[in-house]
Chains A and B, each alone.
Chain A
Amino acid sequence: MLIRYAVLVTIFLMGCEAVHPEDTSLLVVESYVAAGKPLPPVTLRRTAPLEANYDLGHATAATGARVEFTMQDSPIPYTMQGTGVYAPLEPVTAIPGARLDLKVYWGDQVITAKSRIPPPVSLDSVSIEVSDTPIPGLILDSVFVDPLLVDSLGLRALGANAREGLVYLVEATLYWTDNTQRDDDDWWMRTQLLPRLGQSPRLSNFFLSPEALQLEKSAPFANAEQRSWSGAYAVQVPSSSNQIPAHGLRVSIIRGTRDYAQFVSGSSNPGESEPPSNVTGALGIFTGLAIDTLTVEVQ
């Protein structure tokens, strides 16, 4: 009997010894390859447990991976040059229209992704108009529109940190040249107005739409070559006698792939669903895009 127990204990202890703590985390890939710009790094992170703090640094970085980056069938050597950051050994410019392939070997996993670099985009011009006087507007520090609450009048949604104030409306129209008409792919345009303000009336902005995502071919033509998009945002002021505070406005335009569009549209509710990933075997996004931003001063 004693021997039997000894064998069982031995097996048990051996079993304990044999079991290594298993890392169940997933790899998260992030890389945006911008047309005409140097090839970007590929950032590899790991998912983390819910109950722990999430550290963007070393604790969640995925180290020890091997990255194979191919642009138009040409391999580009990538090595880890920071904690979880893998970059090309030498600067290489992203070629518009080029096909992209990514392979990441991490442990016994092989992660793959494909994409394409769109034609470059540039903001040809931006026109900005500011309302003459401040007007009443809803001020809400957070917006959450729940259909159930909307059905029951949404009073709870409105009741959170809501107040009425005065706002200036700033309207901006962006113009860019559509150089994709000979391209077979459908490209998506993400346009954004980002005012550099301390406070933002988010409820008003929810309705004013300072950001949009649409198929490029559905954006209206301003003239034979240029397409345009108009957006607006609100700037709150304490009283009707106040001038609009001078502030910087970053105007951005991104031409992206369908994968990027799905990623952006799927990112709006991070507490209830994760954005769709175009990376096989991991989370994240690996995509080509074209981007242009400029910052103007509004006053």
Chain B
Amino acid sequence: MTTETLTIGKALNLGLRKAMEDDAKVVLMGEDIGKLGGVFRITDGLQKDFGEARVVDTPLAEAGILGTAAGLAMRGYRPVCEIQFDGFVFPAYNQIVTQVAKIHARSQGTMPMPIVIRIPMGGGIGAVEHHSESPEAYFAHTAGLKVVAVSNPVDAYWGIQQAIASPDPIVFLEPKRRYWEKAEVDLDATPDPLFASRVVRGGDDVTVLAYGPMVKTALQAAAAAAEEGRSLEVIDLRTVSPLDLDPVVESVRRTGRCVVVHEAPTSLGLGAEIAARITETCFHSLESPVLRVGGYDTPYPPSKLEEEYLPDLDRVLDAVDRSMGF
């Protein structure tokens, strides 16, 4: 067993390296990912080892990155595109939604689009506008795309490799404020499937759902609640589209209560879809309405206000209180 202590960022770097070693068709594309190694250094050292044909510093144009990635995929390549920050994915939105997502269906299966779109997501780093957003709902709403959100180094290491090996286009969301968080990663382990949610803390009173950067927040809330004698079950959704709700349904049927947490604006966010599906499947088990804790329906605020905007431990506990008190 080979175990290493890795940050999420380093785990992604090693996962990318492994994927490139395993498959010569894997090509990384993005802005500043070559010599610089990306603004978060996720691709650090890869251009040096794999060359400029496989780690491509592109012109500064996101639609260009995704559109040429689609063309490379048509030629049999497996592009991995880095979008520098979440808010900069929108120039590429047309290519992602009208082309990358639809080409497999349009071509009746003759043209797969094995493209990974890596996006550092979410806030909490004190950045300027467009650097702290959570765009997952836009992509989860689009048929043909799959969307995953990793929360820890183990899933980062395996997840990026699984996403690259997948024949479908995947929006791969990385929790940017957690890039530097560490954990032990067993490099010889058999990983969990990519499109599966996971119970990360058992409990009996309320089921708390989170993904990406909010998993840690949910776990902190569960630890705090335990001190008050409340037992929260925390599930890391891991996959946003498709959702894997079987473990959630099992949990909610037991607890009767559910709180969904995400950074994205609450209205029409993933929490809305999850609440609807839980209501459809667990109606007779529910003791209280499914509650959502999310960002507000405002533009992401200037960074001096982001702590007010982002769900935190207290807001999760507040929702737990409301759920229990219903």
A binds B: no
Please report B residues at the A interface, Cβ cutoff 8 Å: none
